[in-house]
A and B are shown apart, each in its own frame.
Chain A
Amino acid sequence: GFLGAQDPGPRPLELKEVFALFQIQYNRSYSSPAEHARRLDIFAHNLAQAQRLQEEDLGTAEFGVTPFSDLTDEEFSQVYKQPKVPGEVPRMVRKVRSLKQGKP
């Protein structure tokens, strides 16, 4: 019928296609098919996490594919997270007065 002939519009990209675009955009290649499959799984997990953040956000932020989308949370934390808990936050300001202004 007439309705059936209508163009349904662009179909949503499949996960593998989105991952292929990610690899191109961020210049990623993997050492073996097994590693590729593992990174694809991590990528899917990260997209699900992005969706959760999107639902939680009370503002206007957008979450999704980023340069870190093929990293596990552990890999990401190792590089970017500050693991140290401050033992002591400085309470006293240290002042170094120069004898002549503008000189160290």
Chain B
Amino acid sequence: VPPTCDWRKARIISPIRNQKNCSCCWAMAAADNIEAQWGIRYNQSVKVSVQELLDCGRCGDGCKGGWVWDAFITVLNNSGLASEKDYPYQSNVDPQRCRVKRNKVAWIQDFIMLQDNEQIIAQYLASHGPITVTINMKPLKQYRKGVFEATPATCDPWLVDHSVLLVGFGSSKSVKGMRAGTASSKPYWILKNSWGAKWGEKGYFRLHRGSNTCGIAKYPLTARVELPDQRHPVHCPP
């Protein structure tokens, strides 16, 4: 595992999305994941339709929540996704609007769930690209910037309720440690949220790495856009 990794520097991460009045973080995280994986594999920037995931999902009203694997199953069942431009986001759901279009801009081979181990997650992230995770969003409503570190008592790792894209990791000097005269390194994850670019660190946030803060290791999931035996080696920008 390299000391740092930031896929934003590879220009494969799409702009920050905004859910507005729709609880569809699961669909946005899945779309972000497919776009990043597609960018890495084909060196091609695509923007896929979140609205298609919502209208054509198998679980009914996607604006009332869902799970990332539901989104991937929809992509498999529909043989891919249309573009955001052809099938734009409307922040509401109408199953009758589902149009499984012929013109697909991206598709996936399958999807996998990684082990709930932060070291393995970091290794996969560095060598395969961004993945989705589902966390307890307790601190995010009031979050502005910096690395949030919690204990299971302050952010329950079992109560995960928000899906986002994991795009990198690194380490920073702990300010609190420095104040106490014992400077220590704080490893962190970099995560892409879907609440607009005015929230957090330009739409991103950071959580402590190595303590399963807010349950980050509970459901690490990613789509695969190519067959494992035909995979090209990739390297995350430091």
Q: Which residues of A does B touch, CB under 8 Å? A: 26, 46, 49-50, 53, 56-69, 71, 73, 76, 78-84, 86, 89-90, 93-98, 101, 104
Q: In this assembly, does B208 line the interface, its C-beta being within 8 Å of a C-beta of chain A?
A: yes
Q: Which residues of B does A touch, CB under 8 Å? A: 19, 21-23, 25-26, 64-67, 69, 73, 76, 79-80, 104, 107, 109-113, 134, 137, 139, 141-151, 154, 161-163, 172, 174-176, 186, 188, 195-196, 198-200, 206, 208, 219, 226-227, 230
Distance (whole angstroms) from the CB of A83 to the closest CB of chain B: 5
In the complex, what residues of A have CB within 8 A of residue B176's CB?
58-60
Q: Are B151 and A58 in contact (CB under 8 A)?
A: yes
CB < 8 Å A-B pair total:
135
5 contacts between A and B (CB under 8 A): A67-B198, A80-B195, A84-B67, A93-B111, A96-B109
Q: Are A94 and B110 in contact (CB under 8 A)?
A: yes
In the complex, what residues of B have CB within 8 A of residue A67's CB?
195-196, 198-199
Known contacts A67-B199, A96-B76, A53 near B142 by CB under 8 Å: yes
Instruction: Provide the bound-state CA to CA distance between A65 and B80, in Å.
Output: 40
Instruction: Provide the bound-state CA to CA distance between A84 and B118, in Å.
Output: 25
Out of B23, B113, B175, which one reaches A80, CB within 8 Å?
Answer: B23
Instruction: Provide the bound-state CA to CA distance between A41 and B43, in Å.
Output: 50
Q: Are B111 and A94 in contact (CB under 8 A)?
A: yes
Residue of B nearest to A80 (CB): B23
Q: Are A82 and B150 in contact (CB under 8 A)?
A: no
